[in-house]
Amino acid sequence: MFVIGKLVTRQYRLHIRHLINKNTRLNSALSVKLKTANYTSYIRVPWALTLLKRTLHTVNRELDAMGLSPLDPSSYSRPEQAVVKHVDLKLNVDFDNRQLSGEALLTVNVLDSIEELILDSSNLTIESIESEDGKVLNYKLDDPVPNYGSKLTIPLPEPATVDQKIKLRIKYKTSPTATALQWLEPKQTSGKKYPYMFSQCQPIHARSILPCQDSPAVKFTYNAEVTAPEPFTVLMSAIKENGSAKATFRQPVPIPSYLLAIAVGVLESRELGPRTHVWSEKEEIERSAWEFADTEKYLQAAERLCGPYQWTQYDLLVLPPSFPYGGMENPCLTFVTPTLLAGDRSQADVIVHEIMHSWTGNLVTNTNFEHFWLNEGFTVFLERKVGASLISDKEEAHRSRDFSSLLGLQELTETIKLDLGEQNPLTKLVVNLTGVHPDDAFSTVPYEKGSLFLRYLEDLLGGSAVFDDFLRAYLNKFQRQSLDTDQFKAYLLDYFKDNDALKKVDWTTWLHKAGMPPVIPDYDTSMTKAVTALLAKVNDPNNSLDYNDVRIFTPQQVINFLQALIDQDPLPVDRLRTLGDAYNVATSKNSEITYRWLRLCIRSRDESKIDEALQFVNSQGRMKYVRPVYRDLYAWEAVREKAIENFLKNEPNMMHVSAYTLRKDLHLKE
């Protein structure tokens, strides 16, 4: 009985649930068998367990033949068989050869009888693999599959059994074209004197830095020793213990592979609070310290909602402009784009967002990227709650939260109705990533549809008063674990089992149907009213425009206004120029305003703005800005070639993910 109890582990239960979710891809007889299974009986009846294991084995073979991991369609690894629990990394940073080299010592917990361990790798040169006692092991590195890398199979010297711990030492080198790493020339930095390197592992690029189970279903702790030449500073997504020639790091909280991060540059830091430093090149350090001075205040507000911050340190690193995202929630060290340095703290919401990932995403993690909304929808939802909690006037806080939600809805509507199309399967909350690279599925949908779903549930189930308690219970229950949407749903249904309102939730439509959300919350529209009125004024050519129209607008209202103009038919170019001059948008330092303004100019076919738009996409690499501007330029036939030419010239300065997605946006071959 003891053995049986052990065998039916949580991993198995997850595995079974996942297989059921995937049943459309399976032989129907097998999926029926799985669907009708009574798991309790498997725990009690030994023969049933054997049957289950045999069934799973057959199913696994079927999925294998399709090149899929049963738990994660984006990974070759087999976390239901064995999981990496800890990694000891020793790396040397070689700027001349654009290479990391060294070793990864993996500590693996065996969950089933196995004869081999399967890992993900991409473009790595494996030099040797040894067992703990120094025995050299054979391995097989399959031919690379574009964008997924190579399956690395390591036959074990002898079969391993349940609960066994094994250690494997893998000596390897990364490639200069590792998709997770960007190696910058000195001219791409502010100091112009030294090179720079940084990583972006989310979603599945960690495999290009180390051989690993590159699936968020697996969480591991890590220690690292990294050697870099003087005068470089090495930073990682961990607690920095020693900063000399050999930097050492410790990450005692288990993380998924996509949260492994490294940056090496000539950096300075400033203390912002008891657990916070900001890091950047010296040219940005003062501006960065000013822009992010309120970080500790945000951390405390986040803790009031979610409980103690578990990662000890919360540092920020302001990267060079080619960093492709607004922010990346690397534990202990959020990476941010320098486009946040607006000089007015107007993009603080991005910092609050990254802080909230310390709970949703980093502690409670989507089991694979089909359930990305559990990371991002929750984070946006919490970001808005915490943002509002910083406003002392209750009504104003409510208005402000709803206004941000309306801005989010505006972006969601553009994505679903104009960009992706309402029938597009990528507009579902839970997506099918079999054969779809997560970087191709990325959009605002998991962020905004996910957050809107949670807001709908909150309103339905009794408001913040009850929902905040649920959130804390959920975080507590799933912390340091990975989960899928069914587990979230089961937990919510159980938590609110006495609440009849739950019966109203149309789960299938919310989770599995494409298009706009089935219900839009009854948001407070007082802050959008002025924007709607201004839109009507601008659309009537008889009205003259002057600065007083927008004098009392917050930056967010200006953004809301510009976004509304983007979503309607283009204004005549003369009218748009008049508007730009009258409302001072053309000279704004806020990149959220600038990118929308340039989109409007392109859409109104203002030829005098083409060079400025190209200069904007060349000066920074935040995909949120660069992709829509390029897509708008592409849609303007007369400038399409010029836009493509500009892209090709600048492609060598871009990070992999930017070049990869822009090639698709511009309909160029990979």
Ligand X SMILES: CC/C=C\C/C=C\C[C@@H](O)/C=C/C=C/C=C\[C@@H](O)CCCC(=O)O
Options 447, 583, 625, 630, the catalytic residue: 447
**Which residue in the block uniquely carries the two structure tokens 């941010």?**
336
- The distance of closest approach from Cβ of residue 617 to ligand X in the complex, given in angstroms and rounded to an integer, is 14
Look up 447 and say whether it is catalytic.
yes
Was 328 annotated as part of a binding site? yes
Residue 212 assigned to a binding site: no
Q: Does 442 bind ligand X (CB under 6 A)?
A: yes
Q: Is 327 annotated as a binding residue?
A: yes
According to the annotation, is 271 in a ligand binding site?
Answer: no
Q: Annotation-wise, does 563 bind a ligand?
A: no
| Length of the chain measured in residues | 670
Residue of 43, 58, 33 whose CA lies nearest to 5: 43
Question: What's the rounded Cα separation, in Å, for the pair 516 and 360?
Answer: 24
Scanning 209-217, 393-401, 439-447, 612-620 for contacts with ligand X by CB under 6 A, the matching segment is 439-447
Q: Would you count residue 326 as binding ligand X (CB under 6 A)? A: yes
Does 446 interact with ligand X (rule: CB under 6 A)?
A: yes
Nearest to 63 by CA among 15, 95, 102: 15
x-marked contacts with ligand X along 405-434 as a string, rule CB under 6 A = --------------------------x---
What is the rounded end-to-end Cα distance, in angstroms, of the chain? 55
**Binding partner selected for residue 279 from ligand X, Zn ion, none, CB under the kind-specific 5 to 8 Å limit:** none
Q: Are 629 and 597 in contact (CB under 8 A)?
A: no
Residue 314 interacting with ligand X (CB under 6 A): no
Q: Quick check: 656 binds ligand X (CB under 6 A)?
A: no
Whether 139 sits among the annotated catalytic residues: the reply is no
| Dihedral over alpha carbons 379, 418, 340, 555 (to 10 degrees) | -100
Contact call for residues 266 and 193 (beta carbons, < 8 A): yes
Question: Per-residue contact track with Zn ion, 374 to 413, x per CB under 5 A?
Answer: --x--x----------------------------------
Q: Is 1 annotated as a binding residue?
A: no
> Binding residue per annotation — 656?
no
Confirm or reject binding of residue 561 to ligand X (CB under 6 A). no
Count the site residues for Zn ion by CB under 5 A: 2
Among ligand X, Zn ion, none, the one that 325 touches (CB under a kind-dependent 5 to 8 A) is ligand X
Strands 481-483 and 364-366: parallel
φ, ψ (nearest 5 deg) of residue 578 = -60, -45
DSSP string, 580-617: HHHTT-TT---HHHHHHHHHHHHHTT-GGGHHHHHHHH
> Closer CB to Zn ion, residue 335 or residue 474?
335
Told to check if 203 binds ligand X by CB under 6 A, we report: yes
Interface with ligand X in residues 608-637 (CB under 6 A): 622, 624
Which residue number, 443 or 604, has a Cβ lying nearer to Zn ion? Answer: 443
Q: What is the per-residue DSSP string for 99-113?
A: EEEEEEEEEEEE-S-
Which string of DSSP letters, residue by residue, matches 291-319?
Answer: HTTTHHHHHHHHHHHH----SS--EEEE-
Least separation in angstroms between residue 353's CB and Zn ion is 6
Phi/psi of residue 28, nearest 5 degrees:
-65, -35
Read off the DSSP letter of residue 136. B
Which of 80, 94, 268, 439 is the binder for ligand X (CB under 6 A)? Answer: 439
Cβ contacts of 608-617, under 8 Å, gap ≥ 24:
610/639, 610/642, 614/642, 614/643, 614/646, 617/646, 617/650
Phi-psi region of 238 (alpha: psi -120 to 50; beta: other; left: phi over 0): beta
Phi, psi of 186 (to 5 degrees): -50, -35
Instruction: Annotate each residue in 327-346 with x if it binds ligand X (CB under 6 A) or - if it does not, as one string.
Output: -x------------------
Q: Which is nearer to Zn ion, 288 or 362 (CB)?
A: 362
Does the protein bind ligand X through residue 517 (CB under 6 A)?
Answer: no
Q: Is 479 annotated as a binding residue?
A: no
Annotated binding-site residues for Zn(2+) read 353, 357, 376
Residues of the shown chain interacting with Zn ion in the complex, contacts defined by CB under 5 A = 376, 379
Annotated binding-site residues read 200-202, 324-329, 353, 357, 376, 622-624
Annotated binding-site residues for a peptide read 200-202, 324-329, 622-624
Residues of the shown chain interacting with ligand X in the complex, contacts defined by CB under 6 A = 202-203, 325-326, 328, 369, 372, 431, 438-439, 441-442, 446, 622, 624
State the catalytic residues: 354, 447
